Amino acid sequence: MFSNFLKELKNAPFAAQLGVFIIIVYLIAAIFAPLIAPYAETEIIGDVWEEMSSKSWLGTDQIGRDLFTRLIYGARNTISIAFVTTILSFFIGICGGFMAAVIGGWIDQGMSRFVDIMMSIPILIFALMILSVLGTSTPVLIGVIAVLDSTRVYRLSRAVAMDVVVMDFVEAAKLRGENTWYLMSREVLPNTLAPLVAEFGLRFCFVFLFISSLSFLGLGIQPPTADWGSMVRENSGAITFGILTPLVPAAAIAILTIGVNLVVDWFLHKTAGIKDS
């Protein structure tokens, strides 16, 4: 499988190769953060907003911590939380969407109307309201965002599953007496993987940006834990003095988002069967 992926990647356009390279660099930084970072996550090594030097490659932040170290640990914290949140939201959304499509009837109508109500409320306002009541611990943050984001996954999974459940092989499985879980996992899921995998990449970007936005507003990952959104907020005052420190974590957010989208575009291109001209 890995060799096939390398072969496909070798023949992929430059944009897709660049996207994969960006993702690999970020994953290495996230996994090996303690080995790559020159200092501890919260260690103060100098004065406030020092310039780049051999001691601090990207300078220091608002209280004198190494910005490069904070950036590396921020990759671990932000990416891992976003990844776990996206997996949980997909599990909830896919189970609900497939169940609605397979069973149908009042279950489909009830679940779909509930999702419509949830989606009618702006997600950022809804999340801010819930987090202000339940607190901003990491489990609560993951749970709240996963539940809110699962409504979008539900809509897509139900839509693609509705095209599959009317197929003859699904009807044959029903006539054999297969249960709902079998139909969802063995008949519907394998035939809807392509759009769901592509959606996973897009939803990961959304969750990643959403967590950074909440951290920027003070209700995401809490200090002193490094997080790119909170790093932008904490160092925003540096812009007044012409110091570009807050642009470093902002650039890290933008580059990862671009990289994931480049890979998702390539995957959609491949699964759609479109030939390069």
DSSP 171-239: HHHHHTT--HHHIIIIIIGGGSHHHHHHHHHHHHHHHHHHHHHHHHHTSSSPTTS--HHHHHHHTGGGG
* Number of C-beta neighbours around residue 100 at 10 A: 22
Q: Residue 64 — left, alpha, or beta (φ > 0 → left; ψ -120 to 50 → alpha)?
A: left
**Local mean pLDDT, 10-residue blocks, the chain (277 residues):** 71 88 93 92 88 88 91 91 94 95 91 92 88 87 93 94 91 89 91 89 90 87 86 88 88 92 85 54
Nearest residue to 98 (alpha-carbon basis) of 44, 42, 153, 38 = 153
Token digits for 174? 């029903």
Nearest residue to 94 (alpha-carbon basis) of 164, 135, 155, 46 = 155
Distance of alpha carbon 180 from alpha carbon 171, whole angstroms: 12
In the prediction, which pLDDT does 68 show? 93
Token digits for 39? 């200092």
Distance of alpha carbon 164 from alpha carbon 176, whole angstroms: 17
Token digits for 88? 């949980």
Q: Which positions ≥6 away from 7 have C-beta within 8 Å?
A: none
> Which amino acid is it at 46?
G
Exposure of 207 in the CB half-sphere (CA atoms within 13 A): 32
Which CATH number fits the domain 29-49+57-271, given the four candidates 2.170.150.70, 3.30.70.1560, 1.10.1130.10, 1.10.3720.10?
Answer: 1.10.3720.10
Report angle CA 125, 78, 23 to the nearest 5 degrees.
120
CA distances in angstroms from 254 to 4, 74, 156, 205, listed in the order given: 29, 14, 26, 10
Burial class (CB in 10 A: 0-12, 13-18, 19+), 241: exposed
Token digits for 32? 């090996």
Token digits for 48? 């406030």
Token digits for 1? 């499988």
